[in-house]
Structure 1
C-alpha cells in the first residue's frame, strides 16, 4: 500500500488522473466551504455580523441599527409653473407625515398668503381670493429624522383679470341693525345659470352668533335670499362672507370681487293684524305693548293676507298712482309710511279714515292707522320687522315683497341648489 493517495493516483493511467482531478476539486470545495463557514461564525467585532450573528467576545445576538427613513413631500397641484390658475384654487400635496407637514404660500414680494391647512385631505386653502395675474410659490415642509427638514417647492401663476366680470351687491351695511325677519339679500349684475348656483351658495357663508340653522333660496336668476329656520334670535350677530372673486359664473363670466356684510339683529318685534277684529297687536320680545285700531283694504282693493317684512320707511312721502291709472289715480301726502309689498301696500297714518279705523275697511290695500299711533309705531319699528295679516279676501303672492316667511322652512329650502 502506498504512503498516500496521491502516489497511488500517479501510478494509475489516464482514468486515475481524471479521478485525481475530480478529487482535488472536491477537496478544494470542501476547504472553501470550511473557510466561509469559519469566517461567518467567527467574524470581527468591529464588523457587522451577518444574519444577526453575535459579538466575537460575548457571542450575544443584537440587531443592527436601522437607517433613518426620511419623510418625502411633494406639491401635486397646481402643477409646477401652471398658468391661468383660478383665484380660489386649493394647493394639494403628498406627505408621508401629514400631521407634521407645514405649507407656506408666498406672493412675488415674498409676503405669506393666509390660508387654512387640512391635514386629513392634504389640502391648503386660501382664506381670501388670490390676486389676478400673480405668481405664487408653494413650499411644503416636513421634519426629517436627522433634525433637518425635507421640503418641496413649486410655483404657479393665477389667471389674468378677464373682461367679463359679474358684480355681486347687498344694500345692507356693516353695523346695521335690522329686525328678526330680515332676509339676507344678494343681487348679481348678470343672470347666474342654474349649473353654477350651487357653487355660488357654497361660497356665500353665513355665520350667526348664537348659531342658527338657515338656507339660501333663489328668488330669481339675479337675486338670492337667506333666512334662518325660525326668525333670527333677538340681539344676534350675523356675518356674511361672499367669496366670488374669480369664480366662474357661466358663459365665460367671473365674479368681480368678494363681499362681506356684518349685521346686528335687534329686539324682536312682531305686528299681527286681524281683519276680523280690525286691530293690530304689537309684540316686543314676546310681550304685547300696544293694540292699534286699523282699517284695511276695501273689497275692491283688499289687503293681502300673509307674512311680510317692513322693507323701507319714510316719515313723509307722497303716494302718486296717476301714472298707473290716469283716471282713478291719486296723489296724496302721507306720513309715517312703512312699505310691506312691492305692489304698494304700506302701513301708514291715514287721518281721513280715523273715524272708521277698528270698524270698517276703506283703504286701497294699505294698513291705515291714526296719525298719532302711526308716529308711535314708526318710531319703534325697523327694517326687517315682521307683520302678519290674516282674514282678508286676497292671499299674499310669494315674491310680492320680502315674502321669505310666507312659506314653511321645508318649502323655502327647495329654492336652494345645494
Structure 2
C-alpha cells in the first residue's frame, strides 16, 4: 500500500545532528583537526521539547483512515518524522513552517506502527519522541462486490476496469477512494476513473485500448474509509492483457451483425432483436462474460411467464438487465427479416457458436437503430459517455 522505502519525511537539521545528538564536536558536527579540545568545544544547546503526536502512545484502537499529525511545541520545528509498519514507510507532508507533519493517506488495518519524531530549536537543540500504536480492524469492513476483469485475463479493446463495492461510498469519501486506485498501462494511454453509481467506479481509457497493451491495477484499500465508518482491510492488485481489436456492429433496422477484426470484416450474420415495446437497448457495450448454456426465465426480467428455457446455447452477455447475443433456433425464420425477441439478440445456432468462440470479454459490441439507449452502468456500457462527460463523473478531476 505504501512504498517500501525509508520513511524519512525530511532531512535532519545539520546543526542539530541526528536523533538528538548535540553539535558539540565542532562547528560541522565532527571533531576538527588541530588545536586543543578546549579551544573548539562549544556549549551543548538546550534540548528541544518532544513533539505532540495526535495518536496516544500504546493505543490499540487507532482508526486507519483518521488523520495522524505530529506537531512541534511553541518555538520549535519538526526536523524529521519516521512512521513505519515493518519495513514499509508511511509518507507525509510538512506544513510550510515545518511546525506540523501530517501522514499521507490511510494506515493499514490491524497492524502495529512505530513512530519517531525529531524536534529542533533555533539554537540547535533537539528532542526526540518515540511511540508505538496499533490500528483497529473493523467488524464490518469495506467489501468488494465485483472487480473486473479477472487477473491474468486476455480481453477486448473495450474492457473497462470495474470496481464495485457492496455498500455505497459517501460523497466525501470518493476522492480519497479514487486516489487510492491506480492503473498503469504499457504502452501508456490516457484514462480516468468515473463513478457510475455510489458503489461503483470504473476506469477506461480515452479511446479503446491498443491491442497488446499490458495493464496493471492497484487497489490500495487497506485502511481506506468509505465515509460511513467502514474501511478496507486488504489491498488488491491484478493485471490483464488486451488482445486483438474486435468490434461488432448489430444493426437492428437491417437485422444484421457485422464483425470486424483489426478493421477488416471477418463475419456477418442475420439476427433478430427485441420486438416493438421490448426493444433491445442501443449503445456501445463491452462484453461482460459468456457462457455455453444459460437458463433464461422471463420472471427474472419482469416478464411474467412469457418463457422458461433451461439451456439457451452460446450466450454472450452484454447487459446486467439480461441482454445476450445467443442461439435462437426457434426464430431462424425471422432473423434478418424482423425483430421478434423479448430483448435479446438471437441468431442461428451455427452463427451463435461462431460468435461465442470468437468473442473475448471486453470486445466491443455496438447495437444501433433501436428507439432506446442503454445506461452506462447497465453492464460495461462505459463507452456510452463521450470523454468530457466521462470526466465529470470523477471525484478528483
Consecutive unaligned residues in structure 1, runs of 5 or more? 1-64, 142-149
Give CA deviations for 1:296-341 in whole Å, capped at 9, x if unaligned.
2222422221112211211122322156444533436311111212
Give CA deviations for 1:170-204 in whole Å, capped at 9, x if unaligned.
34332122222122121223222111111111111
Alpha carbons of structure 1 residues 238 and 128: separation in structure 2 relative to 1, 3 Å: farther
- 1:301 equivalent among 267, 278, 287: 278
Q: Residue 289 of structure 1 aligns to a residue in which SS?
A: strand
Choose between structure 1 and 2: higher helix proportion: 1
Consecutive unaligned residues in structure 2, runs of 5 or more? 1-39, 73-77, 120-125
Larger radius of gyration: 1
Hey, what's the Cα distance between the residues in 2 that align with 1:285 and 1:140?
60
* 2:160 is the alignment partner of 1:183: yes
- 2:199 equivalent among 205, 209, 222: 222
Q: Residue 253 of structure 1 aligns to a residue in which SS?
A: coil
Q: Which residue of 2 aligns with 1:113?
A: 88
Alpha carbons of structure 1 residues 106 and 227: separation in structure 2 relative to 1, 3 Å: closer
Q: Residue 170 of structure 1 aligns to a residue in which SS?
A: strand
8 A contact 1:115–1:128 mirrored in 2: no
* 2:218 is the alignment partner of 1:241: yes
Q: Which residue of 2 aligns with 1:204?
A: 181
Q: Which residue of 1 aligns with 2:208?
A: 231
Alpha carbons of structure 1 residues 346 and 158: separation in structure 2 relative to 1, 3 Å: same
Q: Which residue of 2 aligns with 1:343?
A: 321
> Which TM-score applies when normalising by structure 2?
0.72
Hey, what's the Cα distance between the residues in 2 that align with 1:354 and 1:211?
45
Q: Residue 380 of structure 2 aligns to a residue in which SS?
A: coil
Hey, what's the Cα distance between the residues in 2 that align with 1:77 and 1:158?
18
Hey, what's the Cα distance between the residues in 2 that align with 1:300 and 1:130?
52
Hey, what's the Cα distance between the residues in 2 that align with 1:239 and 1:124?
29
Alignment map for 1:156-171 (pairs within 5 Å): 156-171=132-147
Hey, what's the Cα distance between the residues in 2 that align with 1:267 and 1:243?
30
How many matched pairs? 341
> Which TM-score applies when normalising by structure 1?
0.69
Q: Which residue of 1 aligns with 2:17?
A: none
Query: Which structure carries more relative contact order (alpha carbon 8 Å, separation 6+)?
Result: 2
Q: Which residue of 1 aligns with 2:22?
A: none
* 2:373 is the alignment partner of 1:395: yes
Alpha carbons of structure 1 residues 269 and 125: separation in structure 2 relative to 1, 3 Å: farther
**Structure 1 position 347, deviation (Å):** 0.5
Aligned CA RMSD, in angstroms, stands at: 3.8
